[in-house]
Structure 1
Amino acid sequence: MDDDVWPEVAGWEQKWVLAASRVGHINYIPPSYERYSPRRPMTAMNLGVGAVVGGMAMAQTTEALACVGYMDTRFGRYGHEHSDFSIRFLRAGFGGVRCPVEDGIHNRFYLLDSGIKLLDAVSSASHEDLENNGKLLNELQKEPIYRAPWYNDEEMREFLAEFGPGFSEMNDPPFKGKTFDINSYYQNHEDVYLSGYDAFSHYIENGIRENREL
């Protein structure tokens, strides 16, 4: 959901959850896209179908997301990243249909416009970004459907840094290369055994901090 999307009614998200559960992926199209729009209103049980998506709000199932991955970071600051995202859902079999025609493949997306509206906001668009990303959109249609959350080492470091130090600690477990021996831990720490505390849980929650031996 973009930061200029505003819920209009309580429970608005339930329609989006239902729609996504039915078709795997659903996208928003605002009233300003009227010439591309199907009839309105579009509901979870009576979805719209159109050739253009707005990208201001989307919903998808975990199954669909596992097939598609993340938005492609090569689109950069603005333009067409949401189109590529939704097209990849279609390629994976979610959120619409792909229609073969004489000049290639036409995409038809399942659309929803219920429960939200767009606020007035200053756009960050630039003609140069749109033009460059439009070319990139066409080039990427031949690439695999799944995209990782980063495209290079710098983006990987930036992405992982957002999770904080705890995430890195989980990638480097405290007993790396060893087998956690429950009996040995209880023998070394009789107080843990007498307390009835699960050995492994105690070590993770308290033992590491207390510098207890394995």
Structure 2
Amino acid sequence: SSYTRYSPDRPMTATNLGVGPTVGGMVLAQTIEALACVGYMDTRFGRYGHEHSDFSIRFLRAGFGGVRCRVGDELHNRFYLLDSGIKLLDAISSSSHDDLENNARLLNELQKEPVYRTPWCNEEEMVEFRAEFGSGFSEMNDPPFKEKTFDIDSYYKKHEDVYLSGWDAFAHYVENGIKESRDL
């Protein structure tokens, strides 16, 4: 790896992790539990630079992937490292000096904010985010049954064939009953 290691030079495995002060944004692995705590990458970083640093530091702040160590009056990061078997190749970067400087400043400011980030910061980003999922995502906002309770007994009484089939009444209604215009 091209990143500084604080642990001895040895293979870093899931049962014998390494430790380092930084991680790259090429390969970050998270669990569902960790993502539920920190949310999404912060869209305020825009084009290039430090978005993965913020993401990784928020995992540390939430108790995942390493620890934060106090050195005098400063907090230093210690990330757990793992050899991935992926070889990094040099590539032409799309970075700019201004992007890196602005995002470095933003990275420092965001350390005072809560750990969790939503997938958007404004209405325009929300519309763009939801559009990526196609029409099915917006249909979640308009569910097929809007009432607070579904009367299973009533549905079975009106539709004995559903009862005899062994279907769960509500599952049948969502999967078939709506298309078949069955009464509730």
Higher relative contact order (CA 8 A, sep 6+): 1
* C-alpha distance in 2 between matches for 1:203 and 1:108: 52
Give per-residue Cα distances to partners, 1:138-180, cap 9 Å, x unaligned.
1101111111111111111222222222222233222213532
> Structure 1, unaligned stretches of length 5 or more?
1-29
Larger fraction in helix: 1
Give per-residue Cα distances to partners, 1:12-34, cap 9 Å, x unaligned.
xxxxxxxxxxxxxxxxxx33x3x
Equivalent of residue 78 in structure 1, options 36, 48, 53 = 48
* C-alpha distance in 1 between matches for 2:131 and 2:137: 8
Match of 1:65 in 2: 35
Match of 1:204 in 2: 174
Instruction: Specify whether residues 182 and 56 from structure 1 end up closer, same or farther in structure 2 by C-alpha distance, changes over 3 A only.
Output: same
> Structure 2, unaligned stretches of length 5 or more?
none
Deviation for aligned residue 1:61 = 2.3
Deviation for aligned residue 1:82 = 0.7
Indicate conservation of the 8 Å contact 1:41/1:114, yes or no: no
Secondary structure in structure 1 of the residue aligned to 2:140: helix
TM-score, normalisation: structure 2: 0.87
Equivalent of residue 169 in structure 1, options 139, 144, 154 = 139
Q: Alignment identity in percent? A: 79
Match of 1:127 in 2: 97
Indicate conservation of the 8 Å contact 1:49/1:111, yes or no: yes
Deviation for aligned residue 1:103 = 4.0
Equivalent of residue 58 in structure 2, options 68, 88, 102 = 88
1:102 aligned to 2:41? no
Indicate conservation of the 8 Å contact 1:41/1:113, yes or no: yes
Which moves more between the two structures, 51-60 or 189-198? 189-198
Deviation for aligned residue 1:190 = 4.0
* C-alpha distance in 2 between matches for 1:183 and 1:89: 47
Which moves more between the two structures, 41-50 or 81-90? 41-50
Larger fraction in strand: 1
* C-alpha distance in 1 between matches for 2:37 and 2:116: 6
* C-alpha distance in 2 between matches for 1:93 and 1:199: 43
CA RMSD of aligned residues (A): 2.0
Match of 1:22 in 2: none
1:150 aligned to 2:150? no
Secondary structure in structure 2 of the residue aligned to 1:67: helix
TM-score, normalisation: structure 1: 0.76
